[in-house]
């Protein structure tokens, strides 16, 4: 007997970052976080449970993963098998629709899409809160990619209480995120390793917990009021304070490269010239610029001159998880 399902989930960019786990097995975070789901970057995943298989078979972007590289996916499927009556192995076919090897957050859309497709193929009927909790077990940031628009992840304290909640799902605010592809290579230190090192060794970690609480309290009403300046200042300072945890860890490390610093300088110059925009970046060098739609042309022109037009991608708020019919 076979059972199959396909789901699409979009990536998200964190405006108040998740950077540290309280429980590494259940992926319970140390703090809450808040993100914006993006329309330009997504993952499509098909899962088929098949009694004829002798192992899980995982194909990402057309390439079959070795058993070792498929470990996270295999462990995730084990969870779904435990929760359902399916016992058989599965075939997972996944395509990341992000600019080729751009190094833009992939684990969020990947595990949100996998949670949707695997649970549906296994015959589970999960509401979106339960899907968000399931996605969390694959990758923390995937918790938020179940929903569209601005999404908060309530840290909680156990498996039941840690999940995403939409703040504004249908965003009717003319804002955009301009993504700069500054380095196409895979990062050397994964988010998972990096945040654990920060929790364990940065003396600034307790201050970070207070910063996140303050930033969430500031950014939520500002989003609801469409207060662009407060949202922008909060997300930029939150990003820099997260990255300060990497510099203050031992051994120290950084996700920035030279182009990252140059692009930050350009954002400051744009602001000084009256183009109000703010930057953030996740665990990689690729800057994302939060701006108003009326400034997209000026911003893309400036960065296209600096880094080439192919490396500048304009994204808008995107939707939550979608289930796709078989073609
Ligand atoms: P990112 O910044 O891209 O989220 P992470 O280090 O958080 O980087 O996560 C990358 C992990 O996600 C890798 O283990 C990679 O194998 C996995 N991954 C990426 N895309 C997929 C996919 N479509 N299906 C399954 N796993 C994926
Ligand atoms: C900097 O969700 O990739 O993007 O839970 O270990 O899979 P794991 O980590 P991941 O970490 C994301 C870190 C971040 C900030 C954020 O998305 O909130
Ligand atoms: Co990730």
Q: Where are the alpha helices (DSSP H) in the chain?
A: 71-83, 107-121, 128-136, 191-201, 205-224, 228-247, 258-272, 296-307
Any atom of ligand 2 within 6 Å of the Cβ of 141 = yes
**Ligand lying closest to the C-alpha of residue 144:** 2
From the CB of 105, is ligand 2 less than 6 Å away?
yes
Pocket test for ligand 2, best of 12, 111, 162, 191 (most atoms within 8 A of CB): 191
- Tell me which ligand sits closest to the C-alpha of residue 139: 2
Cα(275) to ligand 3 centroid in Å equals: 30
Burial pattern 284-314, b for ≥16 Cβ within 10 A else e, equals: bbbbbbbbbeebbeebbebbeebbeeebbbb
Candidate of 13, 28, 141 to mutate for ligand 2, largest count of ligand atoms within 8 Å of Cβ: 141
Q: Which atom of ligand 1 is nearest to the CA of 96?
A: 23
Q: What is the pLDDT along the chain (327 residues), one digit of tens a residue?
A: 569 999 999 999 999 999 999 999 999 999 999 999 999 999 999 999 999 999 999 999 999 999 999 999 999 999 999 999 899 999 999 999 986 555 677 899 999 999 999 999 999 999 999 999 999 999 999 999 999 999 999 999 999 999 999 999 999 999 999 999 998 777 789 999 999 999 999 999 999 999 999 999 999 999 999 999 999 999 999 999 999 999 999 999 999 999 999 999 999 999 999 999 999 999 999 999 999 999 999 999 999 999 999 999 999 999 999 999 764
52 CA distance to ligand 3 middle (Å): 32
Identify the pLDDT of residue 185: 76
SS3 234: helix
DSSP for 129-155, written as a single string: HHHHHHHHTT-GGGGGGGS-SEEEEE-
Length, in residues, of the chain? 327
Angle between helices 128-136 and 71-83 (to 10 degrees): 140
Ligand nearest to the backbone CA of 135:
2
- Taking the CA of residue 141 as reference, the ligand 2 atom at the shortest distance is 2
Residue-level pLDDT at 101: 55
Domains, the chain, in order of start with CATH, read: 2-172 (3.30.230.10), 175-315 (3.30.70.890)
Question: What's this model's pTM, rounded to 2 decimal places?
Answer: 0.97
Q: Is the CB of 109 under 6 A from ligand 2?
A: no
Closest ligand relative to 187 C-alpha: 1
Mutation test residue for ligand 2: of 37, 282, 284, 286, the one with most atoms within 8 Å of CB? 282
What's the confidence (pLDDT) of residue 57?
Answer: 98
198 touches ligand 2 (CB under 6 Å): no
Per-residue pLDDT at 186? 73
Q: Do 268 and 302 touch, CB atoms closer than 8 A?
A: no
Between the CA of 5 and the centroid of ligand 2 the distance, in Å, is 26
């Amino acid at each position: 007997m076979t059972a199959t399902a396909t789901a699409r989930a979009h990536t998200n960019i964190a405006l108040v970052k998740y950077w540290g786990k309280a429980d590494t097995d259940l992926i319970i975070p140390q703090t809450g976080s808040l993100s914006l789901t993006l329309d330009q970057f997504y993952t499509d995943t098909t899962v088929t449970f098949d009694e004829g298989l002798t192992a899980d078979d995982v194909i990402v972007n057309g390439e079959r993963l070795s058993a070792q590289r498929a470990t996270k996916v295999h462990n995730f499927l084990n969870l779904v098998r435990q929760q359902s009556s399916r016992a058989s192995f599965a075939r997972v076919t996944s395509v990341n629709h992000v600019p080729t090897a751009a190094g833009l957050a992939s684990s969020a859309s990947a595990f949100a899409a996998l949670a949707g497709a695997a649970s549906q193929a296994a015959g589970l009927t999960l509401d979106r809160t339960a899907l968000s909790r399931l996605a969390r077990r694959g990758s923390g940031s995937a918790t938020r990619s179940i929903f569209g628009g601005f999404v908060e992840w309530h840290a909680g304290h156990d498996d039941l209480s840690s999940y995403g909640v939409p703040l504004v799902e249908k965003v009717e605010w003319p804002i955009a995120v301009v993504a700069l592809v500054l380095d196409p290579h895979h990062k050397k230190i994964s988010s998972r390793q990096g945040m654990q090192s920060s929790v364990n060794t940065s003396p600034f970690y307790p201050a970070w917990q207070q910063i996140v609480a303050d930033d969430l309290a500031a950014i939520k009403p500002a989003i609801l009021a469409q207060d662009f300046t407060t949202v922008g200042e909060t997300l930029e300072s939150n990003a820099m304070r997260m990255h300060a945890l990497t510099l203050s860890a031992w051994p120290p490390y950084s996700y920035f490269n030279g182009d990252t610093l140059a692009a930050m300088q350009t954002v400051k110059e744009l602001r000084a010239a009256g183009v109000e925009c703010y930057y953030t970046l996740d665990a990689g060098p690729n800057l994302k610029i939060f701006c108003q739609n009326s400034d997209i042309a000026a911003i893309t022109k400036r960065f296209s001159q600096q880094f080439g037009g192919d490396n500048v991608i304009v994204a808008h708020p995107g939707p939550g998880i979608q289930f796709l019919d078989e073609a």
